[in-house]
Amino acid sequence: MNKQPILKVLDIMIILIIVFNFGATTITSYLAVHDKPEPVFVEANPIAAKVGDYKQSSKAYSIMKSFLFHIALWALLIGTYIYLRNNITSKKFLYFLTVCVTFLFLGYGYDFFLDLGYLLGVLV
């Protein structure tokens, strides 16, 4: 069974999933920023806040927790994909992996293009 072409397409789809996620996050962050926000400098790291005599953010814990949670999810997704990709045993399993990656690709692509369309509508 020649699975190399399908695996190349799946690898490209995984890379595009990551790009779509970062693109949607960036667009959402851009749209959420106010026209002229008032800058407030606070420190998220509690150690740096004590050492540098800065004010610690009240949202620091939730921001860091969310950030670490997303990193863990991405590590799990990519690690699982690499493991499954390297251990394909049958044609049925290859099709299952293709369907799973395709659904992820469609979901993240849908989110990205919705955000992009909204951004273009706001800019025009």
34-60 mean pLDDT: 73
In contact, 30 and 122? CB cutoff 8 Å = no
Average pLDDT, the chain: 86
What global pTM score does this model have? 0.76
Say whether 42 sits in a helix, a strand or coil: coil
Q: What is the dihedral of CA 72, 61, 28, 101, to 10 degrees?
A: 10
Give me the residues paired with residue 56 across strands: 43
Q: For residue 56, is pLDDT > 90? A: no
19-32 mean pLDDT: 86
Percent of the chain with pLDDT over 90: 46
82-106 mean pLDDT: 93
Say whether 17 sits in a helix, a strand or coil: helix
Q: For residue 35, is pLDDT > 70? A: no
Kindly tell me the burial class for residue 16, based on how many C-beta atoms sit within 10 Å of its own C-beta (0-12, 13-18, 19 or more). Answer: middle
Annotated domain spans of the chain? 4-123
Q: Which of 45, 29, 26, 49 is nearest to 37 (CA)?
A: 29
